[in-house]
Structure 1
Amino acid sequence: MAIRIDRGNSAPWPYPRLIAHRCGGTLAPENTLAGFDACVRYGYRMVEFDAKLSADNALFLLHDDTLDRTTNGRGPAATHTWQELAALDAGAWRGAQFVGTRLPTLADAAERCARDGIAANIEIKPCPGREVITGTLVAQGALALWRGQTPPLLSSFSFEALAAARDAAPSLPRGMLFEQVPADWLRIVSELDCVSLHASHRYLSEPLVAQIRASGLRVLAYTVNDPARARLLEQWGVDMICSDRLDLLS
């Protein structure tokens, strides 16, 4: 049964302060199971990763809409079946020690979370035109795969994807992603019934963090790689800090 998280920053919060960006930050190929090894090595208890759909609607981890940057594949990810995607090398670009690393499924990530006792922030990352179906299937998959674990925190830059996730799995907690927090942030997070607001640390200020937390929301700041900046954000009341530098922030 999914654990229900009540909105409000006075309620018990099941997530740690530090989150590993794209599984392992800069220490492993992004959005791969190799990142979990880095999390364990540096004591991280939560990962963030990106989930999207293959052409045949398999749930897998990848950030970009195209395969070129982080795999030996080419072209839009949404035009490839999972059988084609599963054969790609997703680690060679990051270093010889990662040659042969594969793209993981959402089920693979759930298994590692369970094995290592690590919580998850699943960013719903739809390819263009696939916002609703991606939000729906990621939420349904997360609800089933994380059964008995700390529920994953779903987030997205796409209002449509997060709204579909809300409708498909209303018991899972949600956080709306922004780069710079817009003036109408409260309307947006209220419509989505979010428990958290996620924003670039570069655009956060102490008064804004206080305002967001006063509304009953938790705050996640990304992508913070400087220890001094992380300490300042913590002093402001930021609840979660997403970082690429697991070796510097502890």
Structure 2
Amino acid sequence: MQDWPYPYLFAHRGGGKLAPENTLAGMATAVQYGYGAVEFDVKLSLDGVAFLLHDDTLQRTSNGHGLAAEHDIAALSRLDGGSWFAPRFAGEPLPTFATIAAYCRAHRLLANVEIKPCPGREAKTGREVALLAAELWQGHPAPPLLSSFAWEALLAARDAAPQLPRGWLIEEQWPEDWPARLAELQAVSLHSDHQLLTAERVAVVRAAGYRVLAYTVNDPARAAELRQWGVDGIFTDALDRIRPES
């Protein structure tokens, strides 16, 4: 099993439920609560700039509308990505990947970068995000962990930056072909909806040489149970209730 520099707790989308997701304010909230690692979503603008956003559309987490892939970075940068969450976050921008990488490095935050391609842009997004991640963390002792539900994006990331660690995200049902899929991806980890996990599944995956991460875990008792099973990390929105060990 490869070296694993990441802590058990990852702040989901930056600040969990305490700050607007995928923003600089979210990353600052993770630091405030003592987290050593964050997870966030990265996709490409119309003109190919990597930026943070979860959805394919803009309206849930900004004052923009329509498909994110139809807006260039200049237009995206003018949007308000904070007012939807709370008035005190008014004017919080949709940040570029480069901005968040610089913040993470400056504050010693380790990162799980979820590649979140817009439909039809899987391979391009995987390739570009992986190449940029390698550049932004060049020389850093703990590189970002890349993950995605999009298989084509992960394969493109593997080919573009094979030196970066990769994890495969799964949901809805347990894939019986996980050994072959992880081997093809040359992955280091399997990232599962925590409800799919059992102690036996965790043990089998880890015995095969892979790490297991679980999302989205917001109950402290469940977080403790998963850790007892040998899960290597969880993603949580409950930064105020699931606290890093002192």
1:214 aligns with 2:207: yes
Aligned with residue 84 of structure 1, among 66, 72, 75: 75
- Structure-2 residue corresponding to 1:63: 54
- Matched ranges for 1:1-250 at <5 A: 8=1, 11-149=2-140, 150-179=142-171, 180-250=173-243
**Deviation digits for residues 5-53 of structure 1 (CA, Å, limit 9, x no counterpart):** xxx1xx4311011000001100100000001111111110000000000
When structure 1 is superposed on structure 2, of 27-36 and 11-20 the one drifting more is: 11-20
CA shift, 1:187, in A, is 1.0
- 2:144 partner amino acid: P
Secondary structure of residue in 2 paired with 1:92: coil
Runs of 4 or more consecutive aligned structure 1 residues displaced over 3 Å after TM superposition = none
Cα distance in 1 between the residues matched to 2:35 and 2:45: 29
The Cα RMSD (Å) is 0.7
Cα distance in 1 between the residues matched to 2:206 and 2:64: 43
Cα distance in 1 between the residues matched to 2:112 and 2:91: 25
- Structure-2 residue corresponding to 1:5: none
Secondary structure of residue in 1 paired with 2:181: helix
Cα distance in 2 between the residues matched to 1:35 and 1:45: 13
Corresponding residue pairs, total = 241
Q: Percent sequence identity over matched residues?
A: 59
Cα distance in 1 between the residues matched to 2:95 and 2:79: 11
CA shift, 1:188, in A, is 0.8
CA shift, 1:148, in A, is 2.5
**Deviation digits for residues 63-103 of structure 1 (CA, Å, limit 9, x no counterpart):** 00000100000000000000000000000000001000000
**Structure 2 residues without counterparts, runs of 5 or longer:** none
Secondary structure of residue in 2 paired with 1:91: coil
Cα distance in 2 between the residues matched to 1:185 and 1:24: 31
Secondary structure of residue in 1 paired with 2:39: strand
- 2:210 partner amino acid: L
State the TM-score, normalized to the length of structure 2.
0.97
State the TM-score, normalized to the length of structure 1.
0.95
- 2:222 partner amino acid: R
Secondary structure of residue in 2 paired with 1:47: strand
- Structure-2 residue corresponding to 1:4: none
**Structure 1 residues without counterparts, runs of 5 or longer:** 1-7
Cα distance in 2 between the residues matched to 1:189 and 1:178: 12
